[in-house]
Structure 1
Amino acid sequence: MFRLRLTNHGLKLGAYLAIALLASACSTNKDELLPHGDRTMMDVWDQGSSGSSSSSSRQLLDARQDLRRPLETRETDNTMFTRTAQNEIYSQFKRLPNPDLVMYVFPHLAGSDPAPIPGYTTVFPLYQRVQYAMPGERTEAY
């Protein structure tokens, strides 16, 4: 029976050989992959923009005309998405109603030396903090 005995040195040598084979298999020549002729980039640009034939030039101009936007602005399309001072004040997070409560405080004595306090009326909000609705949440009365 044949036994193959690999040492640590033999494993390293095998690993280096495998890496070298993989690296050489992936290598290629730049000129082979991206061939280039005698024309410069300026020549390619000039030919593409002026066109070698009048029909291709006309097609290019028609395509450019289709892609052009009109000069006038349509405010109805962009007003919902444009940030303005008014938009920022009246933002998409609407304030929820916070009704005022009116309370009458009867005459009473207050303090460690009881001092008479006359009766008075005060107003305070129902909720301690201002509450905001989530975007799209209904804020009008049900």
Structure 2
Amino acid sequence: MIRAILMLLFLLAGCSTSQEELMPVDPDASMLSLWQQQSGGNAALLDARTQLRRPPDGPVAQPEADTIRSQFPRLPNPDMVLYVFPHLNGNTPVPGYSTVFPFYTRPQYALPGERLTPP
């Protein structure tokens, strides 16, 4: 009984605090103004970052991706077709249907120099 009263008192004490007293916020502030205020309004740093960015599929990254694909080709992952026969789910009839899932749970890759086709 005493434990329940203490829990109730703690819950009521938590609800009695005011958000405005605890964290005063300007009602007209936007997320952009708050972010600029916290970052010091340093737009030069943001401009420098945007100049350094390049698309991931640019001309530099494409040859590297081709090299990786040629060194580590994906092994074939056959699709398994499973037919589920018509059945009852409780009193509800469920029609038969087919579903397809890959044989391996994850893609498998060949090691460098490993043959993909049998001799």
For Structure 1 versus Structure 2, the TM-score category normalised by the shorter chain is 0.3 to 0.5
Structure having greater relative contact order (Cα 8 Å, sep ≥ 6): 2
Work out which of the two has the higher radius of gyration on C-alpha atoms and give 1 or 2.
Answer: 1
TM-score by length of 1: 0.35
